[in-house]
Amino acid sequence: MRTIWTGVEEENGLVDSTGQEALRMLEQTDPDIVLLDSRTPVLDGFAVIRRIRESPTLATLPVLAVTAYAIEGDRETALHAGFDGFLSKPINPRDLATEIERLLRIAEDRHPPPPSPCTLHAPILGIRS
């Protein structure tokens, strides 16, 4: 099952209200992607993404910026700051689905699943008696 971290606990996701709490939750969970409001209280989304990208355990986590306060240039600012995508509110459900699919592909590319035991190739040792 995929876990999308949205910063409120739900069946398949976690939702939070502050950037500081977001970092704490991210370190305790293992989400596939994160949806992060760029204007969170206490620690804004830009400070959170900076800390995510600096963290050895979280640095490759795909993160989508969402905001209700989008103005011209915000998308470029968010991408430059380290976000992997950007959506402004109100969010079109189709755009959200497209972005989630894209970010899940990024997550798989960054963390490919380990090979199955059937495909592992180990040298065969010849033993003589």
| Secondary structure string (H, E, C) spanning the chain | CCCEECCCCCCCEECCCCHHHHHHHHHHCCCCEEEEECCCCCCCHHHHHHHHHHCCCCCCCCEEEEECCCCCCHHHHHHHHCCCEEEECCCCHHHHHHHHHHHHHHHHHHCCCCCCHHHCCCCCCCCCC
Kindly indicate the confidence band of residue 110, based on its pLDDT and cuts at 50, 70 and 90: confident
- Please tell me the predicted confidence (pLDDT) of residue 20: 78
- Please tell me the predicted confidence (pLDDT) of residue 129: 46
- Please tell me the predicted confidence (pLDDT) of residue 103: 92
- Provide, rounded to the nearest whole percent, the portion of the chain with pLDDT above 70: 72
- Please tell me the predicted confidence (pLDDT) of residue 40: 72
pLDDT in tens, 56-76: 989 999 999 988 877 888 899
Instruction: Kindly tell me if the per-residue pLDDT of 87 is higher than 60.
Output: yes
Spell out the domain ranges in the chain.
Answer: 4-113
pLDDT in tens, 15-71: 556 777 878 888 888 788 888 887 776 778 899 999 999 999 899 999 999 888 778
Instruction: Kindly tell me if the per-residue pLDDT of 6 is higher than 60.
Output: no
More confident residue, 80 or 12: 80
Query: What is the third-level CATH fold of 4-113?
Result: Rossmann fold (3.40.50)
